Chains A and B, each alone.
Chain A
């Protein structure tokens, strides 16, 4: 299966995770499952990346975590986007659109 290059995705993992949490609180594997579903399996966020980013976002107060009360199976730690996280996401999306446009101009344009 074709999958997206790691280099391209690396700078954008924070934005990806914020945008998923912006749709509702979630926990580790559920986030990576959502990514997998949204990309038809073309991008798999591994656990190391996932938690590195979670921890970084939490340190920057972009997300908060809380332990959920799971009656079935193991207890889960949920992550919730904060106001600061929403602001970061908005800024990231603007930057992303801008970067996308400019990079397209550069690589597809001919003088």
Chain B
């Protein structure tokens, strides 16, 4: 072993000190050491000093996060068993581990910020859903069934049907598409406009509408061929002044909302498929996703309810009183102006409040909870976990009660605070900061 290799080996060992030793990890380390040594020797031959050459070789490592995801960091966990470190955010039950935003089983990541992976049965990643090992897929290009979907990607779609509806007398609008990607946008007029884009034109495929009673409008997708796949895209343009109920049901397909200003009470049910909402002002918003992720960015509401079964919920810049629930998948909500109730079964909860305007309640089963609030917030707090530790990192805290898994008190010398922060967990740690 030469001097360069020894130095590189030492540095690599230090880098991986937090990972559990395994054959797999040792092999990877050996490969990296061999590569970096060769790079450093090349650099030295180009005229660099030994120390510089080694530094240069380490620059070639790049961002190791994705690569290291497969390897388990467990030193923290071992520590927890012995010392019950309050700061610790790992929970382990056998091979099943929950740390920060991630749920793992052995070496495998089941759910994190971007994905849910239950093996070939169900994978949800970056907004695409894959069931039955590719048999059923939903992604940015639409929905495909069966493995043979090449060629669909660049299929041309033409606007084949444009329907307009007068909503003046309507206070209950229901739109039902089963398999199509749907875009909701602003209508420039007072009318509801639905544009249907399809790869083949056939009037049988056009939407059908019925008025039920004198106030409900029900719109349903037309026929879809069973044998020959037709690619579709639906654009719904909703008038800004429509201030009543609007329900969109979509079974297998994405829902996108972009630049929408609506006074309506909008309910989206996306059974299999991701929902993405950006730059929207919606009075009341309900989103339910069975399998698929939810991404919201710059959304202002009075009240919003976001419910997901399998899939992550990622929100940035949201205003309103929120109710967010998830079964499997992490929850990350940043820059909140408002208040709310947040529940998660398997997956972490990460909340970052810019301004608190009401009570904050969180509860989780498996998964850590992290709540960040403004420094000067006056509030009462209760943090409790059955197995994980709880910690309060705020600067000014008056404790009424303080133990490893239960703390109660006031923030910032509040005597009669308006708001309460209440966080509960069964197996995860809780952190207020």
Do A74 and B30 have beta carbons less than 8 Å apart?
yes
A47 to B64, CA, bound (A): 8
Verify A76–B34 contact, CB threshold 8 A. yes
Contact B66 A29 (CB under 8 A): no
11 A-B pairs, CB-CB below 8 angstroms?
A27-B35, A46-B60, A46-B61, A47-B35, A47-B60, A52-B66, A73-B34, A74-B34, A77-B31, A77-B34, A98-B154
Of chain A, the residue at the smallest CB distance from B1 is A74
Q: How far is the CB of A5 from chain B (nearest CB, A)?
A: 16
Binding-face segment, B36-44, B169-177, B331-339: B36-44
At the interface, yes or no: B63 with Cβ under 8 Å from chain A?
yes
A77 pairs with B61, CB closer than 8 A: no
A70 to B64 CA separation, bound complex (whole angstroms): 27
* CB neighbors of A among B11-46 (8 A): 27-28, 30-39
Residues of B close to A44: CB separation below 8 A: 60
Checking A49, A52, A77, A102 against B154 with a beta-carbon cut-off of 8 angstroms, the contacting residue is A102
Q: Residue B150 at the A interface, CB < 8 A?
A: yes
Q: Which chain A residues border B64 with CB–CB below 8 Å?
A: 48
Residues of B within 8 A of A74 (CB): 5, 30, 33-34, 37
- Asked if B70 contacts A55 (CB within 8 A), the reply is yes
Distance from B70 Cβ to chain A, minimum over Cβ atoms (Å): 7
Binary contact track B51-81/A, C-beta < 8 Å → 1, others 0: 0000000001111111100100000000000
Supposing A28-B35, A29-B39, A102-B154 touch, asked if A48 and B67 sit within 8 A by C-beta, the answer is yes
Query: Which of A47, A77, A102 meets B36, CB within 8 Å?
Result: A47
What number of A residues sit within 8 Å (CB to CB) of B?
21
B-side residues, CB < 8 A to A, are 5, 27-28, 30-39, 60-67, 70, 150, 154
Question: Known: A51-B28, A51-B67, A102-B154. Contact between A75 and B34, CB under 8 A?
Answer: yes
Question: What residue of chain A has the Cβ atom nearest to residue B32's Cβ?
Answer: A47
* CB-based contact B34/A55 at 8 Å: no
Residues of B within 8 A of A99 (CB): 154
Give bound CA distance, A103 to B27, whole Å: 41
1/0 per position for A48-60, CB-CB distance to B under 8 A? 1101100100000
Q: Is A87 an interface residue (CB 8 A)?
A: no
* 7 closest A-B pairs by CB: A46-B62, A48-B62, A29-B35, A74-B34, A28-B35, A52-B67, A48-B64
